Amino acid sequence: MKFVDYLTKIDRRIIYVILLAVVVLPLLFPSALSVRVMPPVEKLFHAIDAIPEEKALIIDFDYDPQTLPELEPMGFAILRHAFSRRIKVLALSLYVQPLGLAQNALIQVTEEFNSTAQTNRDSVIYGRDYVFLGWQPPPLIPILGMGESIINVYRIDYYGNRTDTLPLLKEIKNYSDIALLVSISSGDPPKWWVEYAQNRFGLQVGAGVTAVSASEFYPFLQTGQFSGLAIGMKGAAEYEELVDNQLHVAGRRKASEALPSLTYAHLVMIAFIIIGNIGFFIKRRQK
């Protein structure tokens, strides 16, 4: 049967063309895909939402250009959440490579809020509402040192300002003034925050990680060492869904727009696997 032979010998170029179409077309004509929010992301959202007025949130930006599509949308969504709730934010990186990406996220989200602000009180102001601490090597120095004093570890911020002159850091002294730290990373930093900052100082930790590393971090969520966990592009899209639906904060939902490409590509691959197996079993039965 020629049809059965065709099923088992589909030209790979046809597969590549179809995959190219289902990946590229949703990106050319983006449409945010609504997703079901799962408990790990919901826990992270509520942990940030519950931060009291007198305490602050630390966001550790540790993603690089290779993992940016998965992790950057998490950073944007968490910043929108924090700024909309007037939560004080300290941003930092444990590595030098993510500094530019962290700065970009802070600038873009700040501009989003300030473009619609009516008064100084409504605006997001550097030094009052957030501070970008920057990078201080090696990683264990800031992780342990901030438990005693933030301004002793970061004497100047990313922009060269003396931290002891910034209004926010006159209020936020050390981990006792921090309600939660969220580590957005493609590597081990979320574990380091648990091992050193949480075990020694009791700091609450949440994480945003890549999909490929999810199995490493689920145990930290199950044991309660993580206050919440966002995984990959799907996790980022879930957080965007919560920020949009519950806080009604406008902004481009990059993960939700990219998710259709990922979804359709997986469905196409599953379809071709099924087709190939059907052809294989029919041919074997004929023999």
What 5-14 contacts at long range (C-beta under 8 Å, 24+ apart), as own/partner pairs, is 5/279, 5/283, 6/279, 7/275, 7/276, 7/278, 7/279, 7/282, 8/276, 8/279, 8/280, 8/283, 10/272, 10/275, 10/276
Rounded to two decimals, the pTM is 0.88
Rounded to a whole number of angstroms, the distance between the first and last alpha carbons of the chain is 12
* pLDDT for 2 beyond 90: no
Q: Give the pLDDT score at 9.
A: 73
Tens digits of per-residue pLDDT, 165-199? 999 999 999 999 999 999 999 899 999 999 999 99
The rounded percent of the chain whose pLDDT value lies above 90 is 68
CA dihedral 179, 148, 216, 186 (to 10 degrees): 90
Tens digits of per-residue pLDDT, 54-112? 999 999 999 999 999 999 999 999 999 999 999 999 999 999 999 999 999 999 999 99
Mean of per-residue pLDDT scores for the chain: 91
What is the C-alpha to C-alpha distance for residues 49 and 83, in angstroms, rounded to an integer? Answer: 11
Instruction: Name the nearest CA neighbour of 244 among 86, 28, 35.
Output: 35
Mean pLDDT of the 230-239 span: 94
* pLDDT for 117 beyond 90: no
What is the C-alpha to C-alpha distance for residues 52 and 64, in angstroms, rounded to an integer? Answer: 31
The contacts of residue 263 (CB under 8 Å, 6+ apart) are 33
Q: Give the pLDDT score at 1.
A: 56
Q: Pick the residue with more confidence: 255 or 287?
A: 255
Q: Give the pLDDT score at 256.
A: 84
Q: Which of 183-197, 200-214, 271-285 has the lowest mean pLDDT?
A: 271-285
Q: Give the pLDDT score at 91.
A: 98
Mean pLDDT of the 46-50 span: 97
